Amino acid sequence: MLSGTILLLVKFFLRIFSEITIKSPSVRKHFIRSLRRNIQSDMSSISKEITVSGGWDHLFVTFDEKLQSAEKVVEKLKKTAGLESFSQVIEFPLGDFDSILQNVLSVRAEELQGKTFCVRVKRAGIHSFRSIDLERSIGGGILKNIPGTTVDLHNPEVLISLGVKNNTLSVFGKKIPAIGGYPIGTQGKVLVLLSGGYDSPVAAQMMMKNGCKVDFLFFNLGGIAHEKGVEEIAYHLWNSYSHSFPLKIFSVPFQDIIRKLLTKTDHRFRGILLKRFMLRIAEKVARRKRYKAIVTGESLAQVSSQTMQNLDIISRVTNMLLFRPVLTMNKQDIINYAKEIGTADFAENMPEYCGVVSDKPSADAKIQDILAEEEKFDMTLLEDAYREMKKSTVSDFEKDTDTPVIESISSVGKNEVIIDLREEEEVQECPLHVPEVKILTIPFYDLAKEFPNLDKGKEYLLYCERGVISRVQAEELLKKGYVHTKIYRPLETEKND
């Protein structure tokens, strides 16, 4: 709300994404109808009294100032696919040029200090002046009243946009950028493989921004801790970017498949095999639920399983249309994008579960080697995992605020036992040595099953290389009532000594 301004209504002027406006008339109408419907749905989640009007060139969002919802409306509009930008509109009785200047200054003066500017007027109706007359008058008044301002008609720092319609003056506030793209739902629905790292949430948001209705397929590699983390990411993406659609998530238990991969297959090909297994199930879900495409967060050459040759081998397992929106982005660009859309904080605390299957992976696998490895694997496990898949509605998820405080220690007492959560091959290659301390090797995917059988009179310290998997596993154990659980983080001088 602007101080000193009496408003009955708060109005926002919405500029439609420029690429929509160059479509054929029928396509443009379809896109704008979808955009208006999506915005109305989003606004209804704030208040049923917010209205959306207009079409073809622009839209308006209008509501009573008593609702005090302007900040919420702004945050929703910033993240609405199909909008290029928007501005608050302040309406006044037209009056003479002096009163128009005072009204313009009341709205935009703070932005003009020391800046270059330009005044643009759009006029409709019969008036005693031309648009250019008003532009010159207001421009001269700004130069006289605001120190340090200069006119720049070609590339101004501040654009003063005014609308004159009959006896009403509209002063447009600062232009606020939106995300552009196409209205969600105009390009059909796709199934996104969501892992919880940086890449797949970025890929999902990119597909939303380009008009796709998105649902998620999650392969649970790390138990309850992994599932809860991914649910939080899914909820954030739905609430921020796809609130007008009831986003679904399919969760597939994959711990048994990870266990078999680590014990039955060649370590060089595990990452490729895991991705092929995931795509097999993804295609089943996609065809059954009539998704138009499968989406992954794979980026070319980011890791060994994502070289061009390996991506080709992974892709051969499905005939579905396969999108990789972040394919040509480097890691830092993906992280920066994740920060912009609000998923980076989740990813920073999410273990790289897929990384546990990769031990000196092959960057140039051969299809015959992969097929030979798959011959060793009990493929009925994929059928079992598919049958055990569960479906949830993301809007039903609630943020877990009951996060236990977990102690992290670097010294071990007499009654404490270290549990090394790494995979057995990794332990053998880089063993953890702590003198006079018992160390159990229980891979993270077996911890939930094995932990209840351990001596309840001992205290257990969970260890992994980076400390991330041990933290999330400790959180879940504490939530289940196993209070004698901590994280072991050895000093660098003691680590793998």
Smallest CA-to-CA distance from 191 within 281, 277, 311, 292 is with 292
Cβ(84)–Cβ(126) under 8 Å?
Answer: no
Task: Please tell me the number of Cα atoms within 13 Å of 68 on its side-chain side.
Answer: 0
Asked if 70 contacts 1 with a C-beta cutoff of 8 angstroms, the reply is: yes
Give residue 118's Cα distance to chain centre: 37
Would you state the structure tokens that stand for residue 14, as one six-digit string? 């919405």
Cα Rg of the chain (Å, integer): 29
Q: Coil, helix or strand for 428?
A: helix
Q: Is 160 strand, coil or helix?
A: strand
Pairing label, strands 9-16, 83-93: antiparallel
Give the tokens for residue 432.
């953890």
First to last CA, the chain: 63
* Residue 464 appears among annotated catalytic residues: yes
Residue among 118, 354, 430, 464 flagged as catalytic: 464
Is the backbone of residue 317 left (phi > 0), alpha (psi -120 to 50) or beta?
Answer: alpha
Active site residues: 464
